[in-house]
Structure 1
């Protein structure tokens, strides 16, 4: 059994998503995958003395990062898209930017800034970015959202805005600063790498970031600009990996890029370009904080953060939220006398009663991880369920749900959907589950727990049931950059 979501599954998902375009994509051969992987390992080895990796080794250099990037990684960021139109024509843009959509985020529309501020407060965000499209095309609307958020939260909320800079001028930048903007991020690849607008902003907005995709053909251009960025007052450079969509695929194919399978298809050369730029800056001792934002980081951590936030709104007190953001329900079936004995043990251990729940109809005691640590030696069976939480504008009536009132006018809906139901673990599997996810939570490699157990399990990787792949996926965020294939 492979504990990864296996390659074949992602290949099938990618083929289904991209349809008739998929056969036109160039993926690496096995030999190319090995060679490119070896090249990446060499770059990572040379970078090792110079950079710090965080977020399960998917993001570097995190020694000095924008406060907004830190809030994103820690799960406290909301991105508001004020429109869906743009005045640039970037070949890598993942979506068609030609519509005038309502401001919104996470499938929710927020025409009124006050409602969005209530949403930010209800869900506990500490950072908000204003994006599009191009938010400066709807300048008054963007400023209004910034003003309302700043008035509501003061300096407790970090605010930044993304722009290609085409319609930025000193007056607009002054207005944004006066409204309370903390940071502006320019995609200078949209303007032939001009730093003119960036230089204007450097004397007006508190924090200045250049955020661009790592474009393979432009590596020398960016290398040569690094000292100039330092000189004009750029605080941060963010490089992100190019993602392939149905919209941008024809342009990316025309450039001869090598595509990679995964949760979404990405450009191989884009990641290597980002690592080369980071290495160049460190070896040349260029004093500019540079952050490589890999797609797998965004997939794992932005998705996990949203799931954890929504799960907290709908989980029961006796359920847990896993590192991956799923709601985990644990239970053990027993006769009433045995249940009474177990709950007596919990009371004696001063475990609060909200950490467990007895269902007479199912003859099952449900309990949290804190309870499992106390009663594990007393159990002879363990059942697991996992649910994913969803934030919706209205009730689907297909799942259990909870209404979250933002204010007197507006509610949002959190639903929970089952993804793995009623998995019964045998005694050997119970010990493996306990050692991997409860007793030693910092240990992330299930194979290590099998091969180097503190107590023998008499269980090999070949013996594991297929549901273990799903359990591991729903429990943990994997470590490291994604494999090339």
Structure 2
């Protein structure tokens, strides 16, 4: 059994898609929130759930040009396509795969999560260039996978030359069901099975509580005993690739590494990038942006140490000079820390 940060563990060979995710090198392309399944544990936000919207990481998309921009911003070596169910709109999804392959080349690794898949849909996305497909069978059929349509879906995917795996949440109390799913995966000679830590979200917590699941502590979103079950499954299968991915690995490793990659391209020369990939900068606000910029120039702040942000109606400056501005301007002065993402969520603000 091999260990990863955040108590994630695996046997065998970590899927290539997961290896890239761990480095923060995979863009997440959310093609639609529409899905025919009604998984009780679905964590999607109200903004995405059952809405036909598109995102690349945190960025809402108007078109694939925006997705390409985001991929370049994080220096992506691959893309993970998710939803909703991407294969519900397989022609649209195939078009996106083609665009990404044309832009970044065949080495740009693309994997996709789905709960469905007709033969036509699977062949269409495979011909477009999909490298890896991850099936998400409904939890109520885990013990009867031998008699399910997923046997055919796996065969169709194999015939098209794709890497094939299964990815599901680790559901506390469902030991025998999970064992049956792993046994099926082994018999079908799948490349891997991923067990994700079950997480509480704003949209699924009532369903999880209704099934007597409990959150494991006050600081983590994972469900109690989800991790234990998954790690036990990894231990039981030393000769087959079972990968447990924890919530803390997703947040503390995957996300942090992606933020660092994006920060390199987002940060201005006068910004400070932290070890967590966040950005520290000074800001001036409370007046017309051109007027504030002129005031800064008048007190000797070099033009190359400031930038007007018209969207947020502020002037951004080097954080190490904000203390020197106290008492020299009739505007509000702050030092802030924010994410380097498209939405630039602010983490902390200190008034000077």
- TM tier, shorter chain? 0.7 to 0.9
The answer on 1:419 being equivalent to 2:351 is: no
1:155-170 alignment, distance < 5 Å:
155-165=106-116, 168-170=117-119
Within the alignment, does 1:308 sit opposite 2:260 as a pair?
Answer: yes
Match of 1:68 in 2: 17
1:292 maps to 244
One of 15, 29, 50 as aligned partner of 1:99:
50
Match of 2:338 among 388, 406, 426: 388
Instruction: Compute the displacement of 1:271 (Å).
Output: 1.2
Say yes or no: does 1:219 pair with 2:168: no
Deviation at 1:321, TM superposition (A): 3.0
Separation of aligned partners in 1, 2:322 and 2:51: 54
- Are the counterparts in 2 of residues 143 and 176 from structure 1 also a CA contact under 8 Å? yes
Kept in 2: contact 1:181–1:205 (CA 8 A):
no
Deviations 1:135-172 (A, max 9, x none): 1111211111011111111123110111012xx12222
The aligned counterpart of 1:251 is 207
Contact 1:80 1:103 in 2 (8 A): yes
Deviations 1:183-218 (A, max 9, x none): 001112356123422343233242111000011233
Higher helix content, 1 or 2: 1
Kindly indicate whether the alpha-carbon contact (under 8 Å) linking 1:202 and 1:232 is maintained by their aligned counterparts in 2.
no
1:174 counterpart residue number: 123
Report the Cα distance in structure 2 between the residues aligned to 1:103 and 1:360, rounded to whole angstroms: 39
Shift of 1:232: 1.8
Distance 1:211 1:233 in 2: 15
What secondary structure, in the 3-state scheme, does the structure 2 residue paired with 1:268 have? coil
Residues 197 and 222 in structure 2, CA contact (< 8 A), matched pair in contact too:
yes
The size of the alignment, in residue pairs, is 299
Partner of 2:84: 133
Q: Report the Cα distance in structure 1 between the residues aligned to 2:345 and 2:272, rounded to whole angstroms.
A: 14
State TM-score, norm by structure 1: 0.55
Aligned 1:312-461 pairs, distance under 5 A: 312-317=264-269, 320-327=272-279, 362=324, 387-392=337-342, 415=344, 417=346, 419=348
* Residue pair 1:113, 1:144 contacting (<8 A) in 2 also: no
Q: 1:176-255 counterparts in 2 under 5 A?
A: 176-190=125-139, 192-193=141-142, 194=145, 195-196=150-151, 197-255=153-211
- Normalization by structure 2: what TM-score? 0.75
Q: What is the Cα deviation at residue 63 of structure 1?
A: 5.4
1:158 touches 1:182 (CA, 8 Å); kept in 2?
yes
Is the 1:223–1:277 contact (alpha carbons within 8 Å) kept by the matching residues of 2? yes
Q: SS in structure 2 opposite 1:267?
A: coil
- Could you give the per-residue CA deviations for residues 48-78 of structure 1, whole angstroms, max 9, x where no partner exists? xxx1212x34321275211111111111111
Map Cα deviations across residues 60-114 of structure 1 (whole Å, 9 max, x no partner): 1275211111111111111111111111111111236753332212342224224
Find the residue that maps to 2:193 and give its secondary structure: strand
Q: Over alpha carbons, which structure has the higher Rg?
A: 1
Q: Distance in 2 between matches of 1:279 and 1:418?
A: 39
Question: Where does structure 2 lack aligned partners over 5 or more consecutive residues?
Answer: 282-317, 326-334
Unaligned runs of 5+ in 1: 1-50, 330-355, 364-384, 394-414, 424-485
